[in-house]
Structure 1
Amino acid sequence: MRTIFILVSIFLFKMFPPETEQKQSTIPVCYTPANDMSALAANTDFQMLHEAPVPFHYQGAGETVTFPTSDGKTGSGFLLKSAKKSDKWLFVYQEWWGLNDHIKQEAAKLHKDLADVNVLALDMYDGKVATTREEAGKLVQGASAERLAAITKGGVQYVGSNAKIASIGWCFGGMLSLQNAIAGGKQVVGCVMYYGRPEGDVEKLKTLNTDVLGIFGSQDQGIPPATVAKFQEDMKAAGKTVTVKMYDAVHGFANPSNPKHDAAATADAYKLSLDYLKKKLG
């Protein structure tokens, strides 16, 4: 009887841990709802990793363009054309805040430094932009995988079948940059992902037509070093190459509007990304 009592007690403890243990919050790294980051975005701890962006207004070149998407709707993006006709394209993917003025500024900076490359910052929220972490979390949760894929596919069709495409993105956009590389096939020649959720399906990674440059922060609690290490293992298993640069920095460190912005790490990561993109789109 004593043995049975002990076994039952262990079972109940496993099924119903003490209240103090239940309340301990950890950030999930595995999730499968509306899109691959939706459950993570719903987690309060992950939301708290994002400081509200400092207000910024972009004043510069660029235009909004629209294009049909495969789901019967219309997609849009912020376009900066090459000074001379070019089939080289860089897709820029927004942070979880949306296609705000900070992303437009980043797109403009990349456009200037890449010279003869068209830059298209895709609007993955269909015009919605968040200014608080709570709003951003809801926008990520509300972005269906089907709609995200349709916008990216619409962007690929917009630039044409002769286009040579590379991509770059941060946070939510880092995940989307990698997904673009997976879905884009042979047109995709480069992929930069900043602290985005990696793809964990080795079979999908096998379809990559390019290597990947991954930029992460060792202090990132949302995409921790262990997750990055697993991504490296998965890429190796898929027979693909990923170059990881790990900075002693927090999640979102490369965003100048983030109060925890790391200027030195950002500058180094930008140079690394620019050199990579020039080589891929050269």
Structure 2
Amino acid sequence: MNRDLQTDIANVFSRMELNRRHMMVSGLAAAGFALAVQPIGAATVITDTRGIDTSDVKIKVGEETLLGYRAMPAKGGPFPVVLVVQEIFGVHEHIKDICRRFAKAGYYAIAPELYFRQGDVSKLKSIDQILPIVAQVPDAQVMADLDATVNFAQESGKGDVAKLGITGFCWGGRIVWLYAEHSQQLKAGAAWYGRLVGNVTENQPKHPVNIAADLNAPVLGLYGGKDQGIPLDTVEQMRTALKKAKVDAEIVVYPNAPHAFLADYRPSYVEADARDAWQKMLAWFNQYGVA
């Protein structure tokens, strides 16, 4: 890792520490988080907007409008682009904060609302209410919406899509693998605890293990050894499948981490592993031209 990148990583985490708040679970403190993730934990990171520009955005997809959130440095550009793919809970405050963290590190980060046709999950109070909506979201629709988001970033004049990366979490982690097979523009991806195998459905005809040999961009997988939803045997299946990949791919497993170990607003957060994985992601992007 070069010295400049080490400095960037150190600065990002220094800012994250400076902006950590011990949040009370009431009123304003919980604003912006999906109802299904309440109460919000005391370790929640809030990244400020000093030196960066943030806004809600409207992305045209044919005759439809895809909403999203964008963060980038306040001055300069164009900047390397990172697509930030939501958790199952949608583009709530944690995903927006991820965008701000990328902006502090010099990226144009954008998170599109990828369920908008099927429903607003932010107002739902339980995972049992959310899952039926998410099951209706076709992978092909998601790929097209991400392509439209890339076009939006390029047309803004502030995003350098020749330096295009993608990262995603939980539901979005699976999407990272799929987009790395779909896109010819993508330079690198980082998939955080995304499901690797599953049943074939009309909306989900393939899973990461099925397309591992066809990846068009290097992907770093970041997984927890104690993730009860993603058994380690499926991680090993993916590692085996990746041996046939024509690009670099790597899976890192943190032995004592559960699912969602980066999610600082939840009890699953493991700070040491989250820090290390974030560093590995930035180094991966730097190595493969997303910097």
Same fold (TM over 0.5): yes
Match of 1:119 among 96, 109, 114: 109
In the TM superposition, 1:1-282 aligns within 5 A as 52-55=37-40, 60=49, 61-70=53-62, 72-82=63-73, 83-86=75-78, 88-113=80-105, 115=106, 117-126=107-116, 128-129=121-122, 130-160=124-154, 163=161, 164-185=163-184, 187-198=185-196, 199-200=207-208, 202=210, 204-247=211-254, 248-280=256-288, 281-282=290-291
The whole-number CA distance in structure 2 between the counterparts of 1:87 and 1:109 is: 14
Distance, in Å, in 1 between the alignment partners of 2:114 and 2:77 is 26
- How far apart, in 2, do the equivalents of 1:52 and 1:74 lie? 27
How far 1:190 moved relative to its partner?
0.7
Following superposition, the deviation at residue 79 of structure 1 comes to: 1.0
CA-CA distance at 1:87 after TM superposition = 5.1
Gaps in structure 1 of 5+ consecutive residues: 1-50
**Superimposed CA distance per residue, residues 105-163 of structure 1 (whole angstroms, 9 cap, x where no aligned partner):** 111012112x1x21111211225425532233233223233332231121122233961
Deviations 1:27-67 (A, max 9, x none): xxxxxxxxxxxxxxxxxxxxxxxx83444796745111112
Identity over aligned pairs, percent: 22
Aligned partner of 2:3 in structure 1 is none
**More helix per residue:** 1
Paired amino acid for 1:97: F
Flag the 1:112–1:87 CA change in 2: closer, same or farther, 3 A. closer
Any unmatched runs of 5+ in structure 2?
Answer: 1-35, 197-206
Quick one: which amino acid aligns to residue 62 of structure 1?
T
Once the two structures are overlaid, the 10-residue window that deviates more, 234-243 or 153-162, is 153-162
Alignment: residue pair count: 227
Query: Is contact 1:205-1:240 (8 Å) kept?
Result: no
Shift of 1:98: 0.6
Distance 1:79 1:176, change over 3 A: same
- Report the 3-state secondary structure (helix = DSSP H, G, I; strand = E; otherwise coil) of the residue aligned with 2:99: helix
Letter in 1 for 2:267: P
RMSD of equivalent CA atoms: 2.4
With the length of structure 2 as denominator, give the TM-score of the two structures. 0.70
* Structure 1 residue identity aligned to 2:111: A
Q: Give the CA deviation at 1:206.
A: 3.8
3-state secondary structure, aligned to 1:222: coil
Which whole-Å CA distance do the structure 2 matches of 1:200 and 1:121 have between them? 21
* CA distance in structure 2 between the aligned counterparts of 1:213 and 1:197, rounded to whole angstroms: 14
Letter in 2 for 1:179: L
State the TM-score, normalized to the length of structure 1. Answer: 0.72
Whether contact under 8 Å (1:97, 1:131) holds in the other structure is no
Q: Per-residue displacement from partner, 1:49-97 (whole Å, max 9, x unpaired)?
A: xx83444796745111112225x42212211134312152000011111
Q: Give secondary structure in 2 for the equivalent of 1:188.
A: coil
